[in-house]
Structure 1
Amino acid sequence: MDILALSEAELRQHVALLREYPVKLLAEKVETKAEFELCMALGFDYFQGYFFCRPEIISDKPIPDSKLKLLELLSKLQDPDIEFKTIESIIRQDPGLSLKLLRLLNSAAIGFPRQINSLREGLVILGLKAIKTWTTIIVMSEMSPGPAELIQVTLVRAKMAEKIAPEFDCHSEAGFLLGLFSTIDTMLSKPMNEVINSIPLSNESKLALISRGGIKGQLLNCIIDYCEGRWSQSSEDGPSLEKLSNAYIEANEWATMTLNTI
Structure 2
Amino acid sequence: MKYSYVARQPILDKDKKTFGYELLFRDGPKNTFPVIDAEEATSRLLSDHVLSTQYATLGDKLGFVNFPYKSLINRVPTLFPADSLVIEILEDCEPTDELLEAVKEMSQLGYKIALDDFVPSKAWREFLPYIYIIKFDIRIVPLPKAQLFIDRFAKTGIKFLAEKVETYEEFEHAKQIGFDYFQGYFFSKPEMIQRKALKPSFMSIIQLLTEISHERIDYEKVEALISKDVTLSYKLLTYVNSSSLVKKKIQSFKQALVYLGEDKIRKFISLVALASTDSQKPDYLYGLSIQRARFCELLVHKQLSNIDPSKAFLMGMFSLLDSLLDLPIEQIIAEVPIDKAIKLALTEESGALGQLLSLIKAYERAEWDDVSQLCQALHLSQDTLSECYDNAVAWAAELLSVQR
By the TM > 0.5 criterion, same fold? yes
> Greater relative contact order (Cα 8 A, min sep 6): structure 1 or 2?
1
CA distance in 2, matches of 1:191, 1:184: 9
Give 2:294's match in structure 1, choosing from 159, 169, 184: 159
**Cα deviation, residue 183, structure 1:** 0.9
Residue 180 (structure 2) pairs with residue 51 (structure 1): no
Evaluate the alpha carbon distance shift between residue 30 and residue 241 of structure 1 in structure 2; reply closer, same or farther with a 3 A threshold. farther
Evaluate the alpha carbon distance shift between residue 128 and residue 246 of structure 1 in structure 2; reply closer, same or farther with a 3 A threshold. closer
The alignment partner of 1:78 has SS state of helix
**Cα deviation, residue 226, structure 1:** 0.9
**Cα deviation, residue 134, structure 1:** 2.4
Query: Partner residue of 1:254?
Result: 395
1:69 maps to amino acid: S
Query: Partner residue of 2:277?
Result: 143
Q: Is the 8 A contact 2:161 2:179 kept in 1?
A: no
RMSD: 3.3
Q: Is the 8 A contact 1:56 1:189 kept in 2?
A: yes
Evaluate the alpha carbon distance shift between residue 256 and residue 130 of structure 1 in structure 2; reply closer, same or farther with a 3 A threshold. closer
Q: Is the 8 A contact 2:231 2:276 kept in 1?
A: no
Query: Partner residue of 1:186?
Result: 323
Evaluate the alpha carbon distance shift between residue 225 and residue 128 of structure 1 in structure 2; reply closer, same or farther with a 3 A threshold. same
Q: Is the 8 A contact 1:63 1:188 kept in 2?
A: no
CA distance in 2, matches of 1:162, 1:14: 50
2:333 maps to amino acid: I
CA distance in 2, matches of 1:54, 1:240: 30
Residue 220 (structure 2) pairs with residue 85 (structure 1): yes
The alignment partner of 2:165 has SS state of coil
CA distance in 2, matches of 1:229, 1:73: 32
CA distance in 2, matches of 1:260, 1:18: 36
The alignment partner of 1:28 has SS state of strand
The alignment partner of 1:36 has SS state of helix
CA distance in 2, matches of 1:216, 1:26: 35
Q: Is the 8 A contact 1:97 1:138 kept in 2?
A: yes
Q: TM-score, normalised by structure 2?
A: 0.53
Query: Partner residue of 2:205?
Result: 73
Alignment of structure 1 residues 78-227 onto 2, 5 Å: 78-79=210-211, 83-105=218-240, 114-115=245-246, 117-118=249-250, 119-127=253-261, 130-144=264-278, 145-166=280-301, 167-169=303-305, 170-227=307-364
**Cα deviation, residue 220, structure 1:** 1.1
1:190 maps to amino acid: L
When Rg is computed on C-alpha atoms for both structures, the one with the higher figure is 2
The alignment partner of 2:338 has SS state of coil
Q: TM-score, normalised by structure 1?
A: 0.78
**Cα deviation, residue 100, structure 1:** 1.9
Cα offsets for 1:53-86 (capped at 9, x unmatched): 2335625x31574xx5223332244146984233
Quick check: 201-210 or 2-11, which moved more?
A: 2-11
Evaluate the alpha carbon distance shift between residue 99 and residue 12 of structure 1 in structure 2; reply closer, same or farther with a 3 A threshold. farther
Evaluate the alpha carbon distance shift between residue 114 and residue 193 of structure 1 in structure 2; reply closer, same or farther with a 3 A threshold. same
CA distance in 2, matches of 1:115, 1:11: 58
Cα offsets for 1:88-113 (capped at 9, x unmatched): 13323333212222344467xxxx77
More strand by share: 2
Evaluate the alpha carbon distance shift between residue 39 and residue 252 of structure 1 in structure 2; reply closer, same or farther with a 3 A threshold. farther
CA distance in 2, matches of 1:175, 1:186: 19
The alignment partner of 1:153 has SS state of helix
CA distance in 1, matches of 2:310, 2:149: 43
The alignment partner of 1:29 has SS state of strand
More helix by share: 1
**Cα deviation, residue 162, structure 1:** 1.4
Quick check: 31-40 or 9-18, which moved more?
A: 9-18
